């Protein structure tokens, strides 16, 4: 035997079977229980304890995929998945990512595969145009975009770049020696706290600003806190405003927060991970009013934009600040081409060095759907959420908790916290739908996140009927 590889012709055969397997999966996806029903350890117990000494035929792997792995899958791509957030994919994205896997290039610097860098730059400029983002976030201006894996990593990137700017790039050399303080709201995603810890700032130096009745950050309280901290000798350096909190999709007032950041010389990071995709539609862009005051902005094409995970977009207003923070090249290796903007070496724009060719899937999606196709689907999901809201308001047993800004509906049954938790569990256990809960003002709230690729109004209607029927049975029982 000269080698153990599949030949290209074997790959044609096995690959086409996998394509069919995926198509079959989507055709029957509604027949699976949305939430996996397995117990801890059940999947692992079905897999051999020891690795195979000899290679196995491909059909055995696929057989085990069906029999041993699939029962442990929670079906995020089901149209009846309403949990957490819309982490959705689409066939064009799957195929774009497949081409990326096939090419297997490393895009760590321009030179290692120029197309990987230049397509990314081009597509992120397209996105900036598609969302009417400020000029400064474009590669043709002072800033630019870079694809990151997740909004968490983008948050870490922003915190570290802000830390360096605030300390005149001293912290990278000496370590964190100043009393830096950062500000988020009480509703901000936990990844910001994690970033503050990882960057060596410390969670004691993270202030949680209180929110208003819409769960949006109160800028007056932010300003107060900053002033107090300055009086005490702290150095306020970073504020995160959120467009769409994970819990209730609350929108922070970016303009007011941005004005305070300018006055107080803080880096403003806008975390639009949850709802940034909505900016594809002009009618929702009021939600990002003031974004021209931001130093960085991040949103997730892998949420609600039909691009499979991972694909986060991080825009920065001043790329030199970013590169000065993350470049690991000694000064004498920096070159004119990089600094003129003629070529970007994206490994100097973030945490990692190695880079997958992720712009391909984004390019496939934008070209397949076009701006108008993407807008169509975003609008449809928002419309379904509005209809769901009406159904809740029309019922006697349920109530809305906040008015939905977009596609996340926060509601509850009037019978109290325990009832709501029991109701949610009962519906999820049917396998016919999967949704999750949060707590707002100490109360259990049910969340319907409407944004999976194949979710149509009839799915949501059936789920609403199921919720009502289950609640009715529980009330009677």
Phi, psi (degrees; rounded to nearest 5) at 297: -150, 135
407 binds a copy of itself, rule: CB under 8 A: no
Whichever of 206 and 392 has its CB closer to a copy of itself, that residue is 206
Whichever of 101 and 465 has its CB closer to a copy of itself, that residue is 101
Candidates 210, 339, 373, 439: give the one binding a copy of itself (CB under 8 A): 373
70 binds a copy of itself, rule: CB under 8 A: yes
DSSP for 288-349, please give it: GTTGGG-SEEEE-TTTTSS--SS-EEEEES-HHHHHHHH--S-GGG--HHHHHTSS--GGGG
106 binds a copy of itself, rule: CB under 8 A: yes
Whichever of 19 and 421 has its CB closer to a copy of itself, that residue is 19
Whichever of 231 and 336 has its CB closer to a copy of itself, that residue is 336
Q: How far apart are CA 247 and CA 185, in angstroms?
A: 12
Whichever of 258 and 276 has its CB closer to a copy of itself, that residue is 276
Q: Are strands 312-316 and 398-400 parallel, antiparallel or unpaired?
A: unpaired
Site for a copy of itself in 227-286 (CB under 8 A): none
Please calculate the CA angle 55-57-60 and round it to the nearest 5 degrees.
Answer: 110
Whichever of 22 and 228 has its CB closer to a copy of itself, that residue is 22
Q: Which region among 145-153, 264-272, 315-323, 391-399 touches a copy of itself (by CB under 8 A)? A: 145-153
List, in sequence order, the alpha helices (H) in 39-187. 42-45, 58-64, 91-103, 114-130, 151-166, 171-174
Whichever of 198 and 422 has its CB closer to a copy of itself, that residue is 198
b/e per residue 77-108 (b: at least 16 CB within 10 A): bbbbbbbebbbbbbebbbbbbbebeeeeeebb
Candidates 89, 296, 449, 470: give the one binding a copy of itself (CB under 8 A): 89
> Structure tokens of 408?
């996340």
95 binds a copy of itself, rule: CB under 8 A: yes
Q: Which region among 24-32, 230-238, 412-420, 464-472 touches a copy of itself (by CB under 8 A)? A: 24-32
412: number of Cβ within 10 Å: 24
Least Cβ distance, residue 175 to a copy of itself (angstroms)? 3
Least Cβ distance, residue 102 to a copy of itself (angstroms)? 4
76 binds a copy of itself, rule: CB under 8 A: yes
Least Cβ distance, residue 351 to a copy of itself (angstroms)? 6
Candidates 33, 34, 82, 87: give the one binding a copy of itself (CB under 8 A): 87
138: number of Cβ within 10 Å: 20
Whichever of 41 and 477 has its CB closer to a copy of itself, that residue is 41
Least Cβ distance, residue 40 to a copy of itself (angstroms)? 5
Q: Order the strands of the 443-449 sheet from edge to edge.
A: 398-400, 408-413, 443-449, 436-440
Whichever of 414 and 439 has its CB closer to a copy of itself, that residue is 439
172 binds a copy of itself, rule: CB under 8 A: yes
List the beta bridge partners of residue 185.
Answer: 209
Least Cβ distance, residue 244 to a copy of itself (angstroms)? 16
Q: Which H or E run includes 447?
A: strand 443-449
The dihedral formed by the CA atoms of 38, 44, 47 and 53, expressed in degrees to the nearest 10: 160
455 binds a copy of itself, rule: CB under 8 A: no
Site for a copy of itself in 152-171 (CB under 8 A): 152-153, 156, 160, 163, 171
Candidates 141, 142, 324, 352: give the one binding a copy of itself (CB under 8 A): 352
Least Cβ distance, residue 295 to a copy of itself (angstroms)? 18
CA atoms within 13 A on the CB side of 33: 14
Longest dimension (CA), the chain: 77
Spell out, one character per residue from 181 to 220, where the chain touches a copy of itself: x when CB under 8 A holds, - when not.
Answer: ---------xx-xx--xxxxxxxxx---------------
Whichever of 59 and 224 has its CB closer to a copy of itself, that residue is 59
Site for a copy of itself in 29-68 (CB under 8 A): 36, 38, 40-44, 47, 49-56, 58, 60-61, 65
Query: Which residue do the tokens 């973030």 mark?
Result: 350
69 binds a copy of itself, rule: CB under 8 A: yes
Q: Which region among 211-219, 232-240, 336-344, 411-419 touches a copy of itself (by CB under 8 A)? A: 336-344
SS3 content of the chain, % helix, strand, coil (to 5): 50, 15, 35
> Structure tokens of 416?
């109290």
Q: How many residues interact with a copy of itself (rule CB under 8 A)?
A: 145
Whichever of 288 and 303 has its CB closer to a copy of itself, that residue is 303
Least Cβ distance, residue 178 to a copy of itself (angstroms)? 9
> Structure tokens of 330?
């000694």
List, in sequence order, the alpha helices (H) in 28-71. 42-45, 58-64
List the beta bridge partners of residue 145.
Answer: 315
Would you call 247 helix, strand, or coil by DSSP? coil
């Amino acid at each position: 035997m000269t080698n153990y590889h599949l030949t290209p012709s074997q790959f044609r055969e096995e690959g086409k079977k996998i394509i069919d397997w995926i198509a079959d999966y989507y055709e029957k996806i509604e027949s699976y229980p949305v939430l996996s029903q397995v117990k801890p350890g059940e999947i692992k117990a079905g897999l051999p304890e020891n690795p195979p000494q000899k290679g196995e035929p491909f059909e055995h792997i696929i057989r085990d995929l069906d029999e041993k792995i699939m029962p442990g899958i929670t079906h995020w791509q089901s149209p009846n998945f309403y949990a957490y957030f819309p982490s959705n994919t689409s066939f064009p994205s799957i195929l774009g990512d497949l081409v990326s896997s096939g090419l297997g290039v490393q895009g760590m610097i321009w030179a290692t595969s120029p197309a990987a860098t230049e397509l990314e730059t081009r597509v992120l400029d397209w996105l900036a145009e598609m969302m009417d983002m400020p000029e400064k976030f474009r590669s043709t201006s002072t800033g630019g975009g870079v694809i990151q894996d997740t909004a968490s990593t983008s948050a870490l990137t922003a915190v570290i770049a802000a830390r360096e700017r605030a300390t005149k790039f001293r912290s990278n050399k000496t370590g964190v020696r100043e009393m830096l303080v950062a500000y988020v709201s009480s509703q901000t995603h936990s990844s910001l706290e994690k970033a503050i810890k990882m960057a060596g700032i410390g969670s004691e130096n993270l202030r949680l600003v209180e929110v208003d009745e819409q769960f949006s950050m109160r800028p007056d309280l932010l300003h107060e806190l900053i002033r107090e901290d300055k009086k005490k000798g702290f150095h306020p350096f970073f504020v995160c405003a959120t467009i769409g909190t994970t819990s209730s999709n609350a929108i922070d007032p970016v303009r007011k927060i941005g004005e305070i950041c300018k006055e107080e010389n803080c880096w403003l990071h806008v975390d639009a991970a949850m709802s940034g995709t909505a900016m594809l539609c002009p009618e929702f862009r009021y939600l990002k009013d003031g974004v021209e005051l931001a130093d960085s902005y991040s949103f997730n094409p892998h949420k609600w934009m039909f691009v499979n995970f991972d694909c986060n977009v991080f825009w920065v207003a001043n790329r030199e600040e970013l590169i000065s923070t993350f470049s690991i090249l000694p000064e004498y290796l920096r070159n004119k081409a990089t600094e003129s903007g003629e070529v970007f070496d994206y490994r100097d724009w973030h945490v990692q060095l190695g880079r997958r060719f992720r712009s391909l899937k984004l390019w496939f999606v934008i070209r397949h759907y076009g701006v108008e196709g993407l807008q169509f689907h975003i609008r449809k999901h928002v419309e379904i959420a509005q209809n769901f809201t009406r159904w809740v308001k029309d019922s006697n047993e349920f109530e809305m908790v906040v008015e939905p800004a977009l596609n996340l509906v926060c509601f509850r049954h009037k019978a109290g916290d325990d009832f709501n938790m029991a109701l949610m569990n009962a519906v999820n256990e049917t396998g016919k739908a999967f949704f999750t809960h949060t707590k707002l003002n100490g109360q259990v709230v049910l969340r319907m996140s409407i944004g999976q690729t194949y979710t149509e109004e009839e799915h949501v209607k059936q789920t609403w009927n199921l919720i009502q029927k289950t609640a009715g049975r529980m009330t009677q029982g």
